């Protein structure tokens, strides 16, 4: 049975206790809901993979209440400290060499010599992490390859009965995952996953970022970056100007004329990329449900700009549209 915990003192204390006891607790962050386990307990981490049906070769992000705790687990460079000061708490994940005394289990780090660390935003989240007092490993709280959850209800749709508890933290303000930046080579900061902090904002502090262009390029660095990911049940068609009558439309911006699509969900009528990011996963989920119920053929997505948060939105939509099933060998999945 999955406990529903509310964001009261008791709820947070119960969630922290469950985590320390090796349980699985989903909790909200400013990006998406994460499925948390004590990163120092390999058995607890193993349960994450089991609950999500996740391939073992995917390393997890460790979450902390503050930067100091994160920097006990990794070898922080001056650039990492500057970025942390600028963007934490917030939607930025830093990949750094693991500290010699790191207590994070090899299973959470997938045996790599690097570790991904992040300090999420949100008072409830911070209170939970502080009370847990250990690094909390947390991938997004969805079954592997499916749409990430941006509310506690989405988590239950995916994982009810498979996890110990979900802590109600309200809807996620940003709505898509953190930006993952690899700083393990200090001379070559590398954008592994676009996300809540824009590439432009990072480049203002780091200079030009290296951006892997193929899956083979990214795979050794970020083994979790499978091409097909965030997949709704219905196929997804991108950059559609004229949707068909048997499609569900994921729209963006003001609509000058009614479309032929059977149903539609506008990510942002005003054309705001921030609003679009926050509504992306909920929109895919809603269209997928309604589309199945009405026997529609696909989800058609209108063109979306690629600057700012648009880059992260494109990344997620490209993955949602990728052919499936995909090869388990990441080298065979070439990024478009
Ligand atoms: O916003 C987020 O980051 C959410 C919330 C819950 O914090 N978490 C999340 O975790 O998206 P997950 O596991 O779905 O994605 C983690 C990404 C994967 O692409 C993984 O390959 C990469 O981070 N990653 C983790 N550790 C890494 C490492 N040591 N080196 C390179 N990439 C790493
Ligand atoms: Mg995920």
Cβ atoms of residues 90 and 138 within 8 Å:
no
Q: What is the pLDDT of residue 41?
A: 93
Q: What is the pLDDT of residue 145?
A: 84
- What is the arrangement of strands in the sheet containing 298-301, beginning at the earlier edge strand? 236-237, 298-301, 247-251, 263-266
Q: Is there a single domain that holds both residue 211 and residue 291? A: no
Task: Please tell me the number of the ligand nearest to residue 220's CA.
Answer: 1
Q: Is there a single domain that holds both residue 135 and residue 275? A: no
> Ligand 1: distance of its center to the CA of 96 in Å?
13
Q: Is there a single domain that holds both residue 194 and residue 240? A: no
Cβ atoms of residues 309 and 276 within 8 Å:
yes
Asked if the structure places residue 231 within a domain, the reply is no
Q: Is there a single domain that holds both residue 110 and residue 182? A: yes
Q: Is there a single domain that holds both residue 181 and residue 244? A: no
Q: Is there a single domain that holds both residue 254 and residue 144? A: no
Q: What is the pLDDT of residue 225?
A: 53
Q: What is the pTM of this model?
A: 0.86
Q: What is the pLDDT of residue 331?
A: 41
> Ligand 2: distance of its center to the CA of 260 in Å?
33
How far apart are the C-alpha atoms of 194 and 325, rounded to whole Å?
A: 23
Q: pLDDT tens across 84-129, in order?
A: 999 999 999 999 999 999 999 988 988 789 999 999 999 999 999 9
Q: Is there a single domain that holds both residue 190 and residue 244? A: no
Q: Is there a single domain that holds both residue 142 and residue 244? A: no
| 201: containing domain | 3-218
> Ligand 2: distance of its center to the CA of 252 in Å?
24
Domain boundary among 218, 244, 277: 218
Q: What is the pLDDT of residue 223?
A: 43
Best CA proximity match to 170, nearest among 206, 122, 118: 122
Q: What is the CATH number of the domain that holds 315?
A: 3.40.50.11030
Pocket (CB within 6 angstroms of ligand 1): 29, 31-32, 34, 58-61, 93, 95, 112, 114-116, 118, 120, 138-140, 177-178, 180, 182, 192-193, 221-225
Asked if the structure places residue 185 within a domain, the reply is yes
Q: Is there a single domain that holds both residue 162 and residue 258? A: no
Asked if the structure places residue 228 within a domain, the reply is no
* Residues, CB within 5 angstroms of ligand 2 (ion): 140
Domain boundary among 188, 218, 248: 218
Asked if the structure places residue 259 within a domain, the reply is yes
How far apart are the C-alpha atoms of 98 and 109, rounded to whole Å?
A: 9
What domain count does the chain have? 2
Q: What is the CATH number of the domain that holds 95?
A: 3.90.870.10
Asked if the structure places residue 282 within a domain, the reply is yes
Asked if the structure places residue 50 within a domain, the reply is yes
Domain boundary among 183, 218, 253: 218
Asked if the structure places residue 298 within a domain, the reply is yes
Alpha-carbon torsion, ordered 181, 57, 216, 212, to 10 deg = -10
Q: Is there a single domain that holds both residue 296 and residue 242? A: yes
Residues of the chain below pLDDT 50? 219-221, 223-224, 326-336
């Amino acid at each position: 049975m999955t406990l529903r915990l509310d964001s009261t003192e008791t709820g947070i204390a119960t969630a922290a206790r469950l985590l320390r006891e090796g349980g699985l607790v989903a909790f909200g962050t400013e990006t998406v809901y994460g499925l948390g386990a004590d990163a120092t307990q390999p058995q607890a981490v193993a349960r994450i993979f089991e609950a999500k049906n996740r391939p073992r070769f995917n390393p997890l992000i460790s979450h902390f209440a503050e930067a100091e705790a994160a920097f006990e687990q990794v070898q922080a460079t001056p650039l990492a400290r500057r970025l942390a000061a600028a963007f934490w708490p917030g939607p930025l994940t830093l990949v750094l060499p693991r500290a010699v005394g790191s207590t994070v289990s090899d299973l959470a780090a997938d045996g790599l010599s690097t570790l991904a660390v992040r300090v999420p935003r949100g008072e409830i989240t911070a209170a939970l992490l502080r009370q847990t007092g250990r690094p909390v490993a947390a991938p997004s709280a969805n079954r592997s390859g499916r749409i990430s959850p941006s509310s506690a209800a989405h988590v239950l749709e995916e994982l009810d009965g498979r996890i110990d508890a979900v802590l109600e933290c309200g809807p996620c303000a940003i709505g898509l995952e953190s930006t993952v930046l690899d700083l393990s080579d200090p001379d070559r900061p590398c954008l592994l996953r676009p996300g809540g902090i824009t590439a432009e904002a990072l480049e203002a502090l780091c200079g030009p970022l290296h951006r892997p262009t193929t899956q083979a390029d990214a795979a050794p660095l970020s083994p979790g970056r499978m091409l097909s990911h965030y997949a709704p049940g219905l196929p997804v068609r991108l950059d559609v100007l004229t949707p068909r009558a048997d499609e569900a439309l994921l729209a963006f911006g003001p609509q000058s004329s009614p479309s032929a699509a059977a149903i539609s969900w506008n990510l942002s009528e005003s054309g705001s990329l921030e609003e679009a990011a926050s509504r992306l996963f909920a929109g895919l989920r809603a269209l997928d449900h309604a589309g199945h119920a009405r026997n529609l053929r696909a989800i058609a997505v209108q063109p979306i700009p690629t600057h700012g948060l648009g880059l992260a939105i494109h990344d997620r939509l490209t993955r949602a549209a990728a052919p499936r099933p995909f090869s388990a060998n990441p080298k065979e999945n070439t990024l478009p």
